[in-house]
Amino acid sequence: MTQVVPLRARPSHEATTARIGMIVFVAGWTMMFGALLVAYLLLRTGQPEGASWPSAGLPRVPRALPTVATCVLLASSGTLALAVGSIRAARPRALIRWLWMTLLLALVFLGLQTTTWLRMRHLGLAPGASLYASSFFGLTLFHALHVIVGMLGLLSLLPRSYRGAFSAHGHTAVQSWALYWHFVDVAWIAFYVAVVVW
């Protein structure tokens, strides 16, 4: 048992497997976010006729903050795309810079979301106050959880970036997390339209 056998797929497959794996993952997660959206649509359209949304007497969540948050998250997708572009152009220093930039924007996004939640509580919109508040809290918290997972993923790329482990042709992990991040971003836009704008 002294023989050390690397227990992994042949290196030549890594790019392919990572891509397929990420596609399947995104497909599955699209179903999960989709199911939540469908649930929300069914609940909202199932309200008794004439009932207002939010229910009468309840304040609406102010739209300004979430809108700013949306822009910040979109920007973070942009900076992450720049990060991927940098490593593809063999500029590892730029990769590190853009990764930090993305993480910073993600943190701002979470900060804005938290402010929104706190303001909602202030307005009397606790999660149990009404279906309106329930959906807002439920969907945004669920999404924020995915942002946090994405941030952890991006953080995990940093040590390897500093070590110079990524190259123009070997940066599958960066690409995978970028795909995840863009997915979380697109999902947010759907949620934003559904629970904030509409």
Partner 1 sequence: MKLPRVFSLDHKVIGLQYLWLGLVGLLAGGIMSMLIRFSVANPGQPVPLLGVLFGPSHVISPAAYTQLFTLHGTVMIFFAITPITIGAFGNYLIPLLIGARDMAFPRLNAASFWVQFAASLVLVVAAFDPSVSVSAGWTAYPPLSTTIGTPGLGLTLWSLSLILAGTSSILGAINFITTTLALRAPGMSLMRMPLTVWGLFLASVLNALFVPVISAAMMLLLSDRTLGTRFFIAQALVPGGGDPLVYLHLFWIFGHPEVYILILPTWGVISDLFAWYSGRPAWGYRRTVAALCAITLLSGVVYGHHMYTTSMSPLLGRGFMVLTMVISVPGTVMFLDWMGTLWRGKIRYEPAMLFSLGVMVVFAAGGLTGLYLADVPIDLYLHDTYFVVGHFHLTMAAAVLLGTFAAIYHWYDKMFGRTLDRTLGQLHFWLTLVPLVVVFVMMLWMGHVGLPRRLYDASTYEVFRPLAYINRLATWTAYVLGLGQLVFVWNFVASRFIGAPARANPFGFPSLEWSTSSPPPTENFAEEPEVVRGPHEQDGNGGYLPQRKVDPS
Residues of this chain that bind partner 1 (CB under 8 A): 5, 7-10, 13, 16-17, 20-21, 24-25, 27-29, 31-33, 35-36, 38-39, 42-43, 46, 48, 54-55, 58, 126-135, 137-138, 142
**Which amino acid is located at 189 in the chain?**
I
Residue among 99 and 131 whose Cβ is closer to partner 1? 131
Residue among 67 and 134 whose Cβ is closer to partner 1? 134
Are the C-beta atoms of residues 198 and 40 closer than 8 Å to each other?
no
Q: Which tokens is 165 given?
A: 């482990």
CB of residue 64 to partner 1, shortest distance in Å: 24
CB of residue 116 to partner 1, shortest distance in Å: 16
CB of residue 135 to partner 1, shortest distance in Å: 7
Residue among 149 and 197 whose Cβ is closer to partner 1? 149
Are the C-beta atoms of residues 23 and 16 closer than 8 Å to each other?
no
Residues with Cβ within 8 Å of 21's Cβ and at least 6 positions away in sequence, in order, are 176
How far apart CA 26 and CA 180 sit, in angstroms, is 7
Among 164, 191, 156, smallest CA distance to 35 is for 191
Residue among 137 and 181 whose Cβ is closer to partner 1? 137
